[in-house]
Structure 1
Amino acid sequence: MSLQESSETAAEQRQPDVLEQLMFPPASLDPYPLYRRLREESPVYPSRFGAHLISRHADVNHVLKHHELFPGVPEEDMARMFPQGVGHEAYQVLVTSLVGSNPPKHTRLRGLVGSEFTFRRVDGLRAGVTELADRLVADLAERLRSGETVDLHRSVSIPMPLHMISDLLGVPQDERQRLSVLVPAMMNVVDPAAPPDAVAAADAAFRELGSFFDALIEERRRRPADDLVSDLVSVHDGDMDRLAEDELRTLLFTLWSAGFETTATGIDNAVLALAEQPDHRRWLAGDDKQVRAFVDETLRHDPSVQVAPGIRVAAQDTELSGCKIPAGTHVRLMLGAASRDPEAYPDPDRFDPGRTGTPALSFGAGIHYCLGAGLTRLEMSVLLPRLHQALPTLALAGPPGRRRSVPLRDFDSLLVRLDG
């Protein structure tokens, strides 16, 4: 039975939907065999959770680059996808965020924060990134050389991007760790299989994070600083037609929630790739171009974001991979599946930094291309060679701890030690 047939007869035969399969082993541990079946058997898969899952690279790329044909789903339609979240505050913020909005609102909001993520602005952060990477690696090396087993995820991978996005926003040092753990909890509200207690925890996390940002906004009104929150407060107070109060708050939620978890996953995945194939360490001992190639392949081979965050809707009758998609159909883009499509990447399961050709879709494409892509690449390109140079015998001390999540393929822990 094909995946599409199993979905259509799920009610009668109790066959699990693809999104359900991704929540539990074996797919939660390794989703790529399931993605292969999707691409081959049902590239436009009708999930019973209210959307068609698009898995082939060419189709995903087409949807991303044609926002006029596949705009974001109107807010009033989101209840069909996530009925368990309707009426919850965390849900409302997530479904009205920048990634789900359409022009002209999207253009206006992205323009307000885009200047912070230009190439020149990001490159200007290099000195700060380098200083932080040196400190984190030195602390890690000291602990490992004393014979300790260390959780690299919590000691390096999270702190690296966490401190950088915190510096950009103006989040105080003593609040960063407390606020960082709220993001995974909030994401449960858009998990189709989230139980009631997880949705309640999402609301609690939202309220805690919201209280912090409300206080920070008021503080920056009284005492502006050289940070993005101060800039956005200035825009709101100077011209409310450009940035409403709820939009200001939602922008801060979006930037915080997207600012470090995905980059941390990229760092963790790079360490996993080196542990499994140590010969690839030579790429991190090379020039900037070779390091960048290693980083890009890490992001393609196992992307942090497996399902694009924005849900799209067909604005007119269309067709993808020979499948008719009627106007009004909701679609979700399976970035993880597209990243291993053999039509785009020969021998796609092989980790190969020497690849050339098709750019990865790890950061999306089109108007929703990730604002933080340049910062993620900078952080990984600075940190990973230093990690390799200081700790060439770094090895895993156990299997990685993964969180249960469909949209994100992220970590809860990654234990490492020195080998020899």
Structure 2
Amino acid sequence: MTVQDTAKVTPDPGRDVLEQLMSPPADLDPYPVYAWLRENAPVYASKYGASLISRYADVQYVLKHPEVFPGACEEAMAQMFPQAAGHEAYQVLVTSLVGSNPPKHTRLRGLIGKEFTSRRVGGLRAAVESLADRLVDDAAERLRAGETVDLHTAVSLPTPLHVISDLLGIPSADRSRLAVLVPAMMNVVDPAASPAAVNAADAAFHELGDYLGALIAERRRTPRDDLISALVLVHDDDNHRLSDGELRTLLFTLWSAGFETTATGIDNALLVLIERPETRKWLLGDEPSATAFVEETLRHDPSVQVAPGIRFAATDTALSGVTIPQGTQVRLMLGAASRDPAAYPQPDDFMPGRGGATPLSFGAGIHYCLGAGLSRLEMTVLLPRLQRKLPALALDGPPGRRRSIPLRDFTSLKVRLAE
């Protein structure tokens, strides 16, 4: 769809925008709807109880001003979302790092931030390179033998899955089983999540919670050099710094956010390489060139389309000339902000090295994603290797996508060698 076509899209006035984003054709291409929102309803009052914010400047303002748009305290969330009392998935969302406010947020982020320093992430490079070489070589061997290969399951997902698992200390034998729980858990951040989706998220949280509880107990008996052991030690030394509930919620958050979004970013990059072969040159140069390609991938089609944190207006506040009443829930449409022409000239074009506004793919301000550096490292290491070993790929059927508003993730990305 061209930019001109995008500008002509008008959502059905009889249906909520969130419902349309879950239906064809917007479930596969939401950007025309986002363009309509930015132009016609930059603060859109959804019937699901949230105002959807779509312009770059407004999204950035909310992210950088948590005193104006804080996360909800547990008491407020219980009042505004009574269903939360019966659903652990909601409770974890509210009490997680991304949904908390200072000083709690400052304390929790300080406890784990040292594990995601530039030096620590840089120290993982050799392991990431070794893993990427192995996965790419295996996929290349199969493709050259004439097979069709699902790069999502063969490369994109295993790369960040094994990296975050090694960092946390999740045993190899359990990783694939636990990974399938994440999409169900992520559904709870959907502003239009159905009761069935919330129940499925609860079931996934309970299964993962039982597993993590057993792993915490095992690490308490036999500590190792991993993040779970480090957090258990902090809790046991002083549970005023990290309570039982906070320990469990931190591990939920780190595991659920640690690989699915990066896998989606890798898949999106692979689609660009297949559909826009002129961009391949960016992965054949030096590291800054590859970094520019990765940054544009993250901007052009961000993995997380709706920021996971639920925020509320602390007072009557105007965005884009629209007053948001005190107490109104706001949801940040990162996918819409990433294509805002006020921030990016020719926003629908894929242009590495374009400069300009800082992408909001990993958030901003105090809630900027802790794992952003790790995700960038994984993509910057993996993608040039894929391009060198597999320079000419073709899709073998359309990519498989999940029907989810917050995360445009994949179920499959099947390819073959181009003729």
TM-score for both structures, normalised by structure 1: 0.94
The alpha-carbon deviation at position 201 of structure 1 amounts to 2.4
1: CA distance between counterparts of 2:413 and 2:94?
31
Answer yes or no: is the 8 Å Cα contact 1:284–1:385 preserved in 2.
yes
Q: What is residue 7 of structure 2 aligned with on the other side? A: none
Matching residue of 2:66: 67
Residues 85, 190 of structure 1: 8 Å contact kept? no
Q: Structure 1: which 5+ runs fail to align? A: 1-5
The 5 A counterparts of 1:269-348 are 269-348=268-347
Contact 1:73–1:330 (CA<8 Å) still a contact in 2? no
Q: In structure 2, give the amino acid aligned to 1:103.
A: P
Structure 2: gaps of 5 or more residues? 1-9
Equivalent positions of 1:18-417 (< 5 A) are: 18-78=17-77, 86-417=85-416
Q: Counterpart of 1:3? A: none
Q: SS where residue 45 of structure 1 aligns?
A: strand
Deviation at 1:199, TM superposition (A): 3.0
1:154·1:413 contact (CA, 8 Å) conserved in 2?
Answer: yes
Moved more, 76-85 or 142-151: 76-85
Q: Distance in 2 between matches of 1:106 and 1:196?
A: 29
Instruction: Report the Cα offset of residue 205 of structure 1.
Output: 1.4
Deviations 1:290-342 (A, max 9, x none): 10000000000000000001111111222111111222221111100000000
Deviation at 1:83, TM superposition (A): 6.2
Shift of 1:371: 0.4
For structure 1, which segment, 384-393 or 44-53, has the greater mean C-alpha deviation from structure 2 after superposition?
Answer: 44-53
Secondary structure of the 2:86 match is coil
Q: Partner amino acid for 2:92?
A: V
CA distance in 2, matches of 1:127, 1:263: 18
Distance 1:98 1:21 in 2: 30
TM-score by length of 2: 0.95
Change beyond 3 A, Cα 1:177–1:82: farther
Q: CA deviation at 1:106?
A: 0.3
After TM superposition, give the deviation of residue 104 of structure 1 in Å: 0.3
Note if contact 1:130-1:383 (Cα within 8 Å) is conserved in structure 2.
Answer: yes
CA distance in structure 1 between the aligned counterparts of 2:366 and 2:97, rounded to whole angstroms? 11
Contact 2:189–2:308 (Cα < 8 Å) also in 1: no
- CA-atom RMSD, angstroms? 1.7
- Partner deviation per Cα, 1:333-369 (whole Å, 9 max, x = no partner): 1100000000000010000103012110000000000
Q: Deviations over 1:46-79 (max 9, x none)?
A: 1111111110001111111111111102234446
Q: Counterparts of 1:64 and 1:71 in 2: how far apart (Å)?
A: 9
- Give the length in aligned residue pairs: 410
Cα 1:362–1:61, aligned 2, differ >3 Å: closer, same or farther?
same
